């Protein structure tokens, strides 16, 4: 399975209108394939919307997207709001949840780590024995790596009730030698970013 993460930068003040436009069409679009979730950013780069789509593979993605456009149900009419658009295709780690629908809280954290070439297998190896205990503190929604788009990225998504809940739970999770997972000496970490986003009321993940 693959996951497409689409991030749109919108003109200031238009995110609520874009969210409404998606919500009005999502029922018809979901008949072709499910949407995993929809969020608007609250901390990080503002005026962004994030929507995530699971597919069996790239062929299914291309087929469904073409069918959605041909049928006229997609895309929502938000072109006048859009400044920039980004799409990434990710593969899940072996231990990753698959963005299953659920109600976890009002705040989702999207963390993106950019590594040097060849590092991702070592990252998965380091995370694998520790992720069960970490996920017991706060739910892991997804962890995986980019295959199309910006490469060598490790994307992990966590859910919290609010920012205070995040601070409490991260403090609980931070145990020396346990979390965060130790980094192999051959692994180079170039950049880390974190974005906090609020799910739409109609999002399958909220």
Give the pLDDT of residue 186.
83
Whole-model pTM: value is 0.93
Give the pLDDT of residue 42.
97
Give the pLDDT of residue 39.
98
The alpha carbons of the chain give a radius of gyration, in whole angstroms, of 17
Residue 63: is it exposed, middle or buried by C-beta count within 10 angstroms (0-12/13-18/19+)?
Answer: middle
Instruction: Profile the chain (206 residues) by mean pLDDT over runs of 10 residues.
Output: 98 97 95 96 97 98 95 93 98 96 95 96 95 94 97 97 95 84 87 97 95
> How far apart are alpha carbons 33 and 31 in whole angstroms?
6
Give the pLDDT of residue 129.
94
| CATH top-level class of 2-199 | alpha beta
* Structure-token match 């963005």, residue found: 99
């Amino acid at each position: 399975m693959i996951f497409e993460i689409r991030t749109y930068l919108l003109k200031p003040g238009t995110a609520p209108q874009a969210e409404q436009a998606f919500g009005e069409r999502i029922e018809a679009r979901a008949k072709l394939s499910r949407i995993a979730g929809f969020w608007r950013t609250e901390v990080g780069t503002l005026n962004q919307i994030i929507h995530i789509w699971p597919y069996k593979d790239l062929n299914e993605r291309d087929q469904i997207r073409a069918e959605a456009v041909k049928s006229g149900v997609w895309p929502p009419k938000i072109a006048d709001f859009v400044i920039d658009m980004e799409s990434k295709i990710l593969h899940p780690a072996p231990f990753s949840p698959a963005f299953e629908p659920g109600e976890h809280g009002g705040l989702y954290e999207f963390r993106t780590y950019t590594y040097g070439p060849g590092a991702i297998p070592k990252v998965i190896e380091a995370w694998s024995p520790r992720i069960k205990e970490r996920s017991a503190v706060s739910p892991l929604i997804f962890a995986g790596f980019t295959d199309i788009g910006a490469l060598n990225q490790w994307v992990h998504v966590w859910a919290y009730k609010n920012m205070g809940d995040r601070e409490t739970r991260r403090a609980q999770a931070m145990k020396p030698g346990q979390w965060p997972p130790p980094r192999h000496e051959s692994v180079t970490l170039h950049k880390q970013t974190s974005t906090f986003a609020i799910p739409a009321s109609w999002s399958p993940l909220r």
